[in-house]
């Protein structure tokens, strides 16, 4: 059985202003990423920062509903950069400001959403950095375990738990275990139930 990618990823605005704004955001994100990479060898190795909410930054969450408008800045006065068209898509929260959260999607696009539009429910995307291939979903958290399905890049997963190497997930109603390094929406070596 092969589980195929759906049409749940964010749609991007095509107007010129939005394209320029995304380019500026991407350039700023690249600069910040480079500065961060030189400042520390691993975000996980350092103690996590705690945001005003009392929760760690960065952290993963998922979209609660649809559509979710992602704005250029932390207010409704800012233009919409892009829109998530399905609930349950993983995002990484990188900053908090009042009732607004700065997020990043699996493609690196960033923007601001109201915190009520996100859920603490964990989700992940299978190898969104790849365009082809398949990743096995197994019956047990072991490389030799039976394969119950193969999932294409970009498939949306509900994540129940991760043990640092494997995550127990559901994809299109099929339950199994997937190698943790094959998903975006969970940090390397992260454990949770």
Please tell me the total number of residues recorded for the chain in this structure: 193
Per-residue pLDDT at 7: 53
Whether residue 141 sits in one domain with residue 90? no
**93, 121, 149 - which closes a domain:** 121
pLDDT of 83 over the 60 cut: yes
Range of the domain at 28: 10-121
Whether residue 104 sits in one domain with residue 138? no
pTM for the model stands at 0.80
Rounded-to-integer distance, Cα 111 and Cα 127, Å? 22
Per-residue pLDDT at 8: 58
Task: Report helix, strand and coil shares of the chain as percent, to nearest 5.
Answer: 15, 40, 45
pLDDT of 10 over the 60 cut: no
Count of H-run helices and E-run strands, the chain = 1, 19
Whether residue 90 sits in one domain with residue 113? yes
Whether residue 170 sits in one domain with residue 91? no
Whether residue 160 sits in one domain with residue 133? yes
**Structural domains in the chain (count):** 2
Q: What is the pLDDT of residues 58-80, one digit of tens each?
A: 999 999 999 999 999 999 999 99
Rounded-to-integer distance, Cα 52 and Cα 11, Å? 30
The answer to the question of residue 171 being in a domain is yes
pLDDT of 18 over the 70 cut: no
Whether residue 130 sits in one domain with residue 103? no
The answer to the question of residue 86 being in a domain is yes
Nearest residue to 84 via CA among 170, 183, 13, 187 = 13
Per-chain mean pLDDT for the chain? 84
Coil, helix or strand at residue 136: strand
pLDDT of 15 over the 90 cut: no
Mean pLDDT of 153-168: 97
The answer to the question of residue 106 being in a domain is yes
Higher pLDDT, residue 38 or 150: 150
pLDDT of 11 over the 70 cut: no
The answer to the question of residue 2 being in a domain is no
Dihedral pair phi/psi, residue 40, rounded to 5°: -150, 150
Largest alpha-carbon pair distance within the chain?
Answer: 53
Whether residue 111 sits in one domain with residue 178? no
Whether residue 114 sits in one domain with residue 165? no
pLDDT of 81 over the 90 cut: yes
Rounded-to-integer distance, Cα 144 and Cα 173, Å? 22
Q: Give the domain CATH number at 179.
A: 2.30.30.40
Q: Are strands 100-104 and 90-97 parallel, antiparallel or unpaired?
A: antiparallel
Whether residue 135 sits in one domain with residue 112? no
Whether residue 139 sits in one domain with residue 114? no
The answer to the question of residue 96 being in a domain is yes
19 token code pair: 């394209």
**75, 101, 121 - which closes a domain:** 121
Which of these ranges, 3-17, 51-65, 168-182, has the smallest mean pLDDT? 3-17
The answer to the question of residue 53 being in a domain is yes
The pLDDT > 90 percentage for the chain reads 75
Per-residue pLDDT at 48: 75
Q: What is the pLDDT of residues 32-57, one digit of tens each?
A: 433 343 333 334 434 579 999 999 99
Per-residue pLDDT at 19: 45
HSE-up (13 A, CA, CB side) for residue 124: 29
Rounded-to-integer distance, Cα 120 and Cα 179, Å? 22
Whether residue 150 sits in one domain with residue 115? no
Whether residue 21 sits in one domain with residue 63? yes
């Amino acid at each position: 059985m092969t589980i195929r990618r759906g049409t749940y990823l964010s749609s991007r605005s095509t107007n010129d202003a939005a394209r320029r704004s995304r380019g500026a955001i991407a350039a700023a994100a690249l600069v910040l990423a480079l500065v961060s990479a030189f400042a520390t060898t691993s975000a996980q190795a350092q103690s996590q920062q705690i945001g005003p909410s009392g929760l760690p930054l960065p952290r993963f969450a998922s979209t609660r509903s649809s559509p979710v408008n992602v704005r250029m800045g932390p207010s409704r006065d800012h233009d919409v950069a892009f829109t998530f068209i399905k609930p349950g898509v993983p995002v990484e929260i990188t900053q908090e400001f009042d009732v607004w959260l700065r997020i990043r999607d699996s493609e690196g696009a960033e923007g601001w959403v109201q915190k009520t539009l996100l859920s603490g429910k964990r989700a992940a995307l299978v190898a969104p950095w790849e365009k082809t291939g398949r990743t096995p979903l197994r019956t047990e958290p072991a490389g030799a375990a039976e394969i119950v399905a193969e999932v294409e890049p970009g498939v949306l997963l509900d994540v129940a738990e991760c043990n640092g190497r494997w995550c127990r997930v559901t994809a299109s109603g099929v339950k199994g275990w997937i190698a943790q390094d094959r998903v975006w929406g969970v940090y390397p070596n992260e454990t949770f139930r």
